[in-house]
Amino acid sequence: MKPATLTIRVWDLPTRIFHWLVAVLVVFSFATGKIGGSWLEWHMRSGYAILTLVLFRLAWGIVGSETSRFARFVRGPAAFFRYAGDIVGKRHRAVIGHNPMGGWMVLFMLVLLLTQASSGLFADDEIATQGPLAVKVSNALVAKMTAFHYYNGWTLIGAVFLHVIAIAAYWMAWRDNRVAPMWTGRREMDGAGTQPELRATWIAAVILASSAGFVYWLVVVYPRG
């Protein structure tokens, strides 16, 4: 007899909003960055929003819901290689939250987003647009940050492609829909599964507001001083 399916609330609302906002903003940032000209103003605003969201997500990775916490999903090499072995051996393992490989990818993408948004603050296109902190550091550093911002941007796009390919592969290989849970927050599990502890949304709102306040200070108040 087929075991009864169990509906589990995998992703909390803040993590889902974070995910989809970042997805949209990354595409927008990439496009406006490549078009350039006056669109760079929007590129910068988008970057500030991404920085705000990533700072929020890093904090949420410490005090947030169980499935969003780094301590839960960033796993050691043993778990990583066991899971990788399962993938190579075409064995499907349903995991609540990030799997041991995906967890590293999440961390990697967060680092890429953080370094990309931060380096942009110091960048200068040497036409008419400068990041808000470019005036605060040496021109040698500005040149380094501008070049880094360019190359790191392509690394980020590469990581996004890899991420999307992985999601598509789960669907094609096992009909495992990873998009729906990130949208609805819920996932059906066959048999056993423990409901992860989800934190209240208002805590996330407070963290997000603090994060936004800090970024506002960093890009508007501090450069004036």
Partner 1 sequence: MKKSALAAFVVLAAAAIPTVAQQMKAENQVKYRRAAYQLMNLNFSNLEAMAENKKPFNKDEAARNAEFVTLLSTVPKGFFGEGTDKDTRAKPEIWKNRPDFDARMDKMTNEAAKLPAVVKTGDMTAFKKQVHDLGEACKACHDEYRAKQQ
List of residues contacting partner 1 (CB under 8 A)? 35-38, 40-41, 125-130, 143, 146-147, 150-151
Task: In angstroms, give the least distance from the CB of 29 to partner 1.
Answer: 16
Q: What is the nearest approach in angstroms of partner 1 to the Cβ of residue 134?
A: 11
For partner 1, which is the closer residue by CB, 35 or 209?
35
Spatial contact of 198 and 15, defined as CB atoms under 8 Å apart: no
The answer to whether residues 187 and 1 touch, using CB atoms and an 8 Å cutoff, is no
Nearer to partner 1, 39 or 108 (CB): 39
Q: Which amino acid is at 203?
A: I
Q: How far is the CB of 50 from partner 1 (least distance, A)?
A: 20
| Cβ proximity of 203 and 63 under 8 Å | yes
Short-list 143, 145, 154, 77, CA closest to 112 = 154
Distance CA 124, CA 138 (A): 12
Torsion on CA atoms 35, 38, 40, 43, rounded to nearest 10 = -90
When the beta carbons of 127 and 192 are compared against partner 1, the nearer one is 127
Q: Please state, in angstroms and rounded to a whole number, the distance separating the CA atoms of residues 178 and 165.
A: 12
Nearest-approach distance from CB 38 to partner 1, in angstroms:
4
Question: Closest separation between CB of residue 216 and partner 1, Å?
Answer: 16
Q: Which is nearer to partner 1, 71 or 140 (CB)?
A: 140
> Cα 68 to chain center, whole Å?
11
| Residue 147 or 179 having the CB closest to partner 1 | 147
- Dmax (CA) for the chain in angstroms is 70
Nearer to partner 1, 138 or 202 (CB): 138
Instruction: Supply the minimum distance, in Å, between the C-beta of residue 129 and partner 1.
Output: 6
C-alpha 219/C-alpha 198 separation (Å) is 33
Beta partners for 8? 187
